[in-house]
Structure 1
Amino acid sequence: MDKVFIVYIMASRKNGTLYVGVSGDPEVRIWQHKNNWFEGFTKRYGVKRLVWYEVHEDAEAAIRREKRLKEWHRAWKIRLIEARNPDWRDLYPEVTGER
């Protein structure tokens, strides 16, 4: 299987603190956020819920998309999340294949 990269948005709760990231090992990286593996923003603000993600086959494209999303206004990010995930449920099981 070819390597995939995801651009993702995590939240502390519905309409809570948002974090935008990118990863080439999404299952592990999201687990790290959820379990406070590293000191930093997501641990400090309790950002543990994967609420949106987008799959890319190319690392450079994923990084470009992440940088663009980080520049977006908060309202735009919320609309993006709610278009796919209006209840702000945790999408981590989709990433791990647990559904």
Structure 2
Amino acid sequence: MFVTYVLYSKKYDKIYIGYTANLIDRFHSHNQLATKGHTLKFRPWEVAIVVFFDNKRGAMKHEKQLKYSRGRAYIRQQIQQLID
């Protein structure tokens, strides 16, 4: 099983979009283990959105859709609803 996920940094008001087969390990990596990369600069991260897929291809396709402007607008809308 694969997931597309969106992380949110409340402190910096940043989002990160990715996909993985193991969300718990990946989340742990983003918040604690990684020593370089984009997510290091904007810790701490919270999981804002998770969508499950039966295969890697579906998760990758959804990740790509979320990275376009419409997808980012949708993400911002969803995060705003969580905050309010």
| Partner residue, 1:63 | 60
- Correspondence for 1:13: 10
**Alignment partners' CA distance in 2, 1:30 and 1:15:** 17
Q: Which has the higher strand share?
A: 2
TM-score where L is the length of structure 2: 0.82
- The TM-score with structure 1 as length reference comes to 0.71
State the superposition RMSD in angstroms: 2.2
Please list every run of 5 or more consecutive structure 2 residues that lacks an aligned counterpart in the other structure.
none
Q: Secondary structure at the match of 2:83?
A: coil
Q: CA deviation at 1:80?
A: 3.2
Separation of aligned partners in 1, 2:51 and 2:63: 10
Q: Give 1 or 2: higher helix fraction.
A: 2
Q: Which runs of 5+ in 1 are unaligned?
A: 89-99
Shift of 1:82: 4.6
How far 1:77 sits from its partner (Å)?
A: 1.3
Identity %: 22
